[in-house]
Amino acid sequence: YHFASENRCAFRQVFLQAPLEACLERNGQRPPAARVPDFSIRHMAEVFEWPGVEGKSWEAREFVSTTLDAHAATTGAQLDAFLERFSAQHG
């Protein structure tokens, strides 16, 4: 964020949120060479720190952070839908 701000570039964080079991299931459907070890997914689910979305932190600004519910659709579908909405809003 700070680098982008200092260099007058656009910046946006997009977080995809899905239940651990959905992540493990999707990972299991990948080709073997593309799979992430299950222990890595479980560990990240335990230690990942979601950005603060309330208060006065820089992450709380609506134009900086977006969290998408990735449970119902694939990552690609969620990102495509987000980009369509974002493009429509910001032309």
Contact 70, 78 (CB under 8 A): yes
Per-residue pLDDT of the chain (91 residues; tens, 9 = 90+): 788 888 888 777 788 888 999 999 999 999 999 999 999 999 999 998 877 766 676 666 666 667 777 777 777 787 888 888 778 877 6
* Angle, CA 79 vertex, CA 71 and CA 57 arms, to 5°: 85
What is the pTM for the complete model shown? Answer: 0.64
37 closest CA partner among 49, 17, 23, 47: 23
Contact 38, 24 (CB under 8 A): yes
